[in-house]
Structure 1
Amino acid sequence: MIEGILWAVLAGLMLGLYALPEKFTKDFEFENTWSLFFAINTFVVPNVAAFLLIDGFSEVLAAIPMGILIGMVVASLLWGIGVMMWGKAINHIGLSLGFSLFIGTIILVGSLIPFVINGLPERPVFATIMGGIFVVLVGVVANGKAGIMRQADEQVNQEKKGSMATGILIAVVGGLLATGFSYANTVGGAVIHEAVIAQGNPEWMSAVAVMYVIYMAGGVAIAVYFIQQLTAKKLWSKFNSPSFGRNAGLATVMGILNFAASAGFAYAAFKLGSTGGTVGYAIFNTVSVAVAIVSGLITKEWINASSKSKNALYLGLICMILGIVIVAIGNGL
């Protein structure tokens, strides 16, 4: 159990830090940086990792039953669409509230999906894990409130591009769709693990194979979105920049960290046993949010925030850490 929890924490650390290099790109708009990142992250890194590390990877893919593969692909496409909807929600309701609603939905629903597929554990285990997830959600809400107060403190003048109700709906629906990631990992993990082992590979490589399917399929939805955005905003010419090499290197670091984080989660879920999909998913996402917030504090994103908003932020962090401790205890019962 300890090994699985450590892998989930490590994966969350990498996910929380993967976007940090984006702060150092030059001459790119948001769409340029993130489209380049996603292209590397969902198409380049998975292919290099899978075919370089896994012996007989083509045979591994061929061994996945068609029904399971189709389910994984569809769920992964929904995950890609959900991630893009989160970006749209931010345009309506701002980063803090959009992030809070999106991640809150992912943690709550995504953590329940393995229980729906594999069945409920014993009542004390289920009650403890759900209690921990509830505490985590309290922390997420507190962080969202802190972000909203920070925006007011800094007097950020956000352009209103849509109604609050529309933004909330988009964030929640996007979060629901993004839980396709959890579904794909749950239904495909065991089968792919057996196929990878059958080819004589170490068991940890099954996590790379699972993420290959999820990222390649989800990347299709993401690519369609960014092609449309780059075309509509006439940003393709921005790639012809003297800083392209530097930006591509930073995007590659982001892509490697992000993919490694997801593969680390998949391996953690396997090592945590029957409740691994739920426990690992909760720890993975919670740690990533906590790390992202701490990195924001270190890089002085909160330097102009009031003590009231910072106190709400600290409360949120405490609740999230306490929540994942409770979840971990539940998994050990």
Structure 2
Amino acid sequence: MLLAFFWVLLAAIMLGFYAFPSKYVKGYGVENLWGSFWLFAMIIVPVLASFILVNGLGETFAQVPSSVFVGIFFLSMLWGIGNLLWGISISKIGMALGFSLLIGVATLVGSMLPFFMGNLDQLNTTAGRVIVLGIFIIMGGIVLNGKAGLLREANADTASDTSSSKHMKTGIIMCIVGGICAAGFNLSYHVADTIGQIGRISQEQFGNEPWIARLAVMLPSFIGSGVVTVLYFAYKLNQSKSWHKFASPSSRKNILLIVVMALVYVASLLIYGLGAYSLGALGTSVGFAVFQTGCIMIANILGLFSGEWTNAGKRSKYFLYSGLLVMTLGITVIAYGNFISY
């Protein structure tokens, strides 16, 4: 079990770092950078990796009811929409509040719904109730973290008018809806692995290692999300007439950096899948809560070291440290609940 938690936390750390190479991409617009990234991360890398590494991929999928794939595709499209809504909303409400809201809502929805998709009986056990308690403790920590972000942004810009207030409300609504949609990632994984049994078929019938079988489990989810995000950025590239930037002198280096980002991003999700699988029946509830919490903790710790909170003020830092402490407590409670469930 400890190894499973290690995989989930490692995945959170990797996801927290995946965008770092984007700082060195030159000569690309936002549409060029993120359009290319989503193309590689959601379609090219997972498709190539699946066909190269997974034995019996087609034969595995042939045994899964078509209704399961419909569910996976729908939920994964929601995941893609959630990513897009979050990207738009942070321009209205700021990174700190946007990140906390998105992950908070996605954690609640993505962790709790699996209980109602085949594990509802776990709510009648001590372990199940402890895990749910841990999830709500984490939610409390995320709320504190969001408050810290609001205070930090208030210190950075005290100006306020009707227009900015309207933008804030719109951004918050978009971010909450985006958080609900973003939970489609975990729910599509749950449908593929727990209901569709794709991982079990891939391992037992075709001898794939658990981490390789996660590719088979996640491939349909990547495709669904990829369709949404790639089409959106293709539209934005046409709108801004930015296609010519792919011919810039630095394009070869840029594409290499974007491929590295995509590899780290895909690897982080696969490692999360391995951790969730190793955590047992409640892995998609336990693992997702730890995974999302780990992401927000890593993002804020990196922010502390990079100086983002230097001028945040004492109250803001108090809420930040309190939030991190409460989230750590929540992870501990979840780990204990999963331990006594064995």
Does residue 272 in structure 1 map to residue 279 in structure 2?
A: yes
Distance 2:273 2:94 in 1: 31
Secondary structure of 2:117 counterpart: helix
Q: Which amino acid aligns with 1:212?
A: L
Residue 130 of structure 1 deviates from its aligned partner by 1.8
Secondary structure of 1:55 counterpart: coil
Does residue 168 in structure 1 map to residue 175 in structure 2?
A: no
Residue 196 of structure 1 deviates from its aligned partner by 1.0
Distance 1:26 1:295 in 2: 23
Distance 1:161 1:23 in 2: 31
Per the normalisation by structure 1, the TM-score is: 0.93
Distance 1:182 1:23 in 2: 28
Most deviating of 160-169 and 225-234: 160-169
Distance 1:307 1:231 in 2: 46
Distance 1:153 1:25 in 2: 31
Matched-pair contact (CA < 8 Å) for 2:188–2:221: yes
Among 187, 212, 216, the residue aligned to 1:183: 187
Most deviating of 96-105 and 309-318: 309-318
Residue 165 of structure 1 deviates from its aligned partner by 2.7
Q: Map of 1:17-28 to 2, 5 A cutoff?
A: 17-28=17-28
1:172-228 Cα deviation digits (max 9, x unpaired): 111111211122111111411122121121222121112211111110011121112
Distance 2:259 2:166 in 1: 34
Per the normalisation by structure 2, the TM-score is: 0.91
Secondary structure of 1:26 counterpart: coil
Q: Which runs of 5+ in 2 are unaligned?
A: none
Aligned residues: 333
Distance 2:6 2:263 in 1: 19
Counterpart for residue 110 of structure 2: 110
Among 309, 312, 315, the residue aligned to 1:305: 312
| Structure 1 residues 276 and 216: CA distance shift in structure 2, 3 A | same
| Structure 1 residues 91 and 156: CA distance shift in structure 2, 3 A | farther
Q: Map of 1:94-105 to 2, 5 A cutoff?
A: 94-105=94-105
Counterpart for residue 321 of structure 2: 314
Counterpart for residue 49 of structure 2: 49
Matched-pair contact (CA < 8 Å) for 1:207–1:267: yes
Q: Map of 1:128-277 to 2, 5 A cutoff?
A: 128-155=130-157, 160=164, 162-190=166-194, 191-197=197-203, 198-277=205-284
Residue 37 of structure 1 deviates from its aligned partner by 1.1
Distance 1:270 1:233 in 2: 43
1:245-290 Cα deviation digits (max 9, x unpaired): 2221221121111111111111211111111110000011111111
Q: Which amino acid aligns with 1:103?
A: I
Matched-pair contact (CA < 8 Å) for 1:211–1:259: no
Q: Which amino acid aligns with 1:115?
A: F
Distance 1:139 1:31 in 2: 34
Counterpart for residue 284 of structure 1: 291
Distance 1:157 1:40 in 2: 40
| Structure 1 residues 323 and 65: CA distance shift in structure 2, 3 A | same
| Structure 1 residues 239 and 325: CA distance shift in structure 2, 3 A | same
Distance 1:86 1:170 in 2: 7
Most deviating of 139-148 and 110-119: 139-148
Q: Which runs of 5+ in 1 are unaligned?
A: none
Q: Map of 1:73-92 to 2, 5 A cutoff?
A: 73-92=73-92
Matched-pair contact (CA < 8 Å) for 1:72–1:188: yes
